[in-house]
Structure 1
Amino acid sequence: MVTGVLAPERLEEILRTAAREFATAGYERASLNRIIRTCGMSKSSFYHYFDSKAALFDAVLRAAMGGLAREVAPPSPAELSGPGFWDELTRTVERVLEVAAREDWYADAGRLFYLPDAPVEHSPAARETVGAMRAWLVGVLEVGRSCGAVRTDLPVALQATLATDVVQSLDRWSLAHSQEYPDAEARATIGRILTDVLRRVLATTVEDQPTA
């Protein structure tokens, strides 16, 4: 549980520090004392705002994923309807890569979903983020199927599961290799590659799939 109110700049400093600590040390080995020292706080002050490691973990995810969503502003499923379906998805992926490269703590927070010891299943913020992503993907699939960009020979539920698994795999890979595409041109190339992988799973026909 998070209690009390911090100045926005101070709160961001703490959450950025915590995101880096969790991402580098793992959830169980992450040290609240190290975070407290780095931020120049007293223990009593820290625990006035965050009463547990789990509360801090949730606060990091809520702030980072909320900020990422505001900066990327992904299109609603309805906005993807039409011939530009895959092009717009590619641009969205490129925007995510660009923002994550500019804001390291978004990337750190993203890595928390894939820590082997992270309490993702017990984290309200993690469950909300994953649920929102899946709901968006389902909406995108429905639009893609209706406009002819996505194949319709698979059950929607199976297709949604496949798409979710592929997106999470691509996300995990891109976070692990984020330092390998530091400039805009490299990120655009990676964005196209990542979208092409998803397209090969979902495209309507062989002719609609990207060429090698």
Structure 2
Amino acid sequence: MDTQLVQPKQTFMNLAPEKRESIVRAAAAEFAAQGYQRASLNNIVKQLGISKGSLYQYFDNKEALFLHVFDHFTLQVKQYVKASATGNGREDFFDVARQVLLAGIAFIDSHPEYFQVYLKVLFERDVPRREELVSRVRLFSLEYFGPLADRAREQGVLRSDIPSQKVVFILDAMLDRFLQGYAQPHLDGGLALAGMSADRLHDEIDSMVAVLRTGLQPSDMGE
């Protein structure tokens, strides 16, 4: 899961970190706004104030640049998600889900262009290696939440008749749709998530997690 989709040229890796970040962010902004096929390397180099030849010294082509942007997106997401955990190994499964959802919102607020790139991958079929890109995101959810679900089932916190993989599927579906709605108002099903105050947004998150808890916990947990 940690392997890169594409390896940038060594000339790119030799750049100062802030220079690499500026290139990736400029590319992400263009891909987020235009999608893969319509994105223009000319626009990217104009934004950066460099020549197209310089960009080709760093990446072989547009596809390589796009895949590196997606690599950067997945790395940032993993960092945000892992930073949201308390790390004591005794977290309530549903509290973890809440913290991950809050981390996702923080990520979108800090890196809106990267999440828009992810949405382009989800909804545009002309993206290179699209199925692989989507699978990598889903695999991370399984790798992260799978062991937590296994432990919660062993502790009797989750229903024993629902396999861990199905629990992760349900949880991932809710998290992904909620974040999509937060990032794109036309995807929020009328919830108006993007315009909510922080307090109301937290209430919505608590409501979503409560629904998960009601459906996934054993019936005797509340007795």
TM-based fold match above 0.5: yes
Decide whether aligned partners of structure 1 residues 93 and 52 sit closer, same or farther in structure 2, where only a CA change above 3 A counts.
same
- Equivalent in the alignment of 1:63: 72
**Residue identity in the other structure for 1:46:** L
Q: 1:60 to 1:201 in 2, by over 3 A?
A: farther
Residue 52 (structure 1) aligned to one of 55, 61, 71: 61
Query: Which ranges of structure 2 fall in alignment gaps of 5 or more residues?
Result: 1-5, 186-192
2:206 matches 1:192: yes
Q: Alpha-carbon deviations, 1:131-160, whole Å to 9, x = none?
A: 222211222221221223222212344444
Partner Cα separation in structure 2 for residue 174 and residue 16 of structure 1: 21
Q: Which runs of 5+ in 1 are unaligned?
A: none
Q: Which deviates more from structure 2 when the two are superposed, residues 56-65 or residues 107-116?
A: 107-116
Under a length normalisation based on structure 2, what TM-score does the superposition of the two structures give? 0.74
Aligned to 2:188: none
Q: Equivalent pairs: percent with the same residue?
A: 25
Inter-partner Cα distance in structure 1 for 2:132 and 2:103? 29
Is structure 2 residue 40 aligned with structure 1 residue 26?
no
Q: Closer, same or farther in 2 for the Cα pair 1:71/1:40, shift >3 Å?
A: same
Structure 2 residue 23 is the aligned partner of structure 1 residue 14: yes
Distance 1:175 1:198 in 2: 22
The answer on 1:35 being equivalent to 2:35 is no
Partners of 1:101 and 1:107 within 8 A in 2: no
Structure 1 match to 2:175: 167
Count of matched residue pairs: 203
Q: How high is the TM-score relative to the length of structure 1? A: 0.78
Aligned partner of residue 145 in structure 1, secondary structure: helix
- Using CA pairs below 8 Å that are at least 6 residues apart, which structure has the higher relative contact order? 1
Deviation at 1:77? 8.7
